[in-house]
Amino acid sequence: SYELTQPLSVSVALGQTARITCGGNNIGSKNVHWYQQKPGQAPVLVIYRDYNRPSGIPERFSGSNSGNTATLTISRAQAGDEADYYCHVWDSSTGVFGGGAKLTVL
Amino acid sequence: EVQLLESGGGLVQTGGSLRLSCAASGFTFSDYAMSWVRQAPGKGLEWVSAISGSGGSTYYADSVKGRFTISRDNSKNTLYVQMNSLRAEDTAVYYCANSGYSGSWYDGFDHWGQGTLVTVSS
């Protein structure tokens, strides 16, 4: 079965750029979606189909996908960006989520 | 405004059954595929199942195949999942979700309910 690998944790200084990776075999050939989840809340879609932002998501959030790695980039990180972030793809009619990465803003 | 409201969660014994519902509003329900996604306490997200807008196509994670059945009633704007032979590892918050921007089951989820907790215990 297809697997997605994310770092357990990522730290970023306030105002700097955070990059959260999602590794998978030839993931560049798939559409990758990214979610932000804060404690006690439902996930929120922040990037869909590799690099598209839903309405209401700040331009500070961007995505890229190539080869075996997809990346969610958060520019000018804010305290409110602290959350768990999950990548998501579809493979063989099955939804697959990464294990999630906890973003800490220092 | 799109709203998804799950219900039916609770405490059930190992081997028991439970049916979850997801009441949808704010969009033409039959035009949109729907999915269930779960999250065990303190763990990550896990996709469970999906169903097409007509209900004619269904998809399942291997972990629930043969035990869970997804269905929908488009006249009631409601999504269901019948969960049988429940195990401790099925304990989770269950979310219903869909892709409002595409309607496809094979896409990202921009609409989520608030979830309903299922606890399976002996």
Is B97 in contact with B34 (CB distance < 8 Å)?
A: yes
**CA count, 13 A, side-chain hemisphere, B66:** 2
SS3 B43: coil
Below-70 pLDDT ranges, chain A: none
pLDDT score of A67: 98
pLDDT score of B31: 96
- How far apart CA B56 and CA B79 sit, in angstroms, is 13
B47 with A97: Cβ contact below 8 A: yes
pLDDT score of B105: 84
A42 with B59: Cβ contact below 8 A: no
Give per-residue pLDDT as tens, A14-31: 999 999 999 999 999 999
pLDDT score of B122: 84
What share of residues in chain B are helix, strand, coil (percent, to 5)? 5, 50, 45
Does B107 reach chain A within 8 Å, measured CB to CB?
yes
Please compute the mean of the pLDDT values over residues B105-116 and round it to a whole number: 95
pLDDT score of A22: 98
A54 with B110: Cβ contact below 8 A: yes
Please compute the mean of the pLDDT values over residues B108-114 and round it to a whole number: 97
Nearest residue to B95 via CA among B28, B50, B58: B50
Own/partner contacts of A6-11, CB < 8 Å, gap of 24 or more, are: A6/A85, A6/A86, A6/A87, A6/A98, A6/A99, A6/A100, A6/A101, A7/A101, A8/A99, A8/A101, A8/A102, A9/A101, A9/A102, A9/A103, A9/A104, A10/A101, A10/A102, A10/A103, A10/A104, A11/A103, A11/A104, A11/A105, A11/A106
A43 with B45: Cβ contact below 8 A: yes
The mean of the pLDDT values for chain A is 97
pLDDT score of B107: 92
Secondary structure tally for chain A: helices H, strands E: 0, 9
Could you say which of B46, B101, B114 has the minimum Cβ distance to residue A42? Answer: B114
pLDDT score of B103: 86
Nearest residue to B89 via CA among B58, B61, B115: B61
Give per-residue pLDDT as tens, B42-91: 999 999 999 999 999 999 999 999 999 999 999 999 999 999 999 999 99
Give per-residue pLDDT as tens, B12-52: 999 999 999 999 999 999 999 999 999 999 999 999 999 99
**pLDDT cut 70: percent of chain B above it:** 100
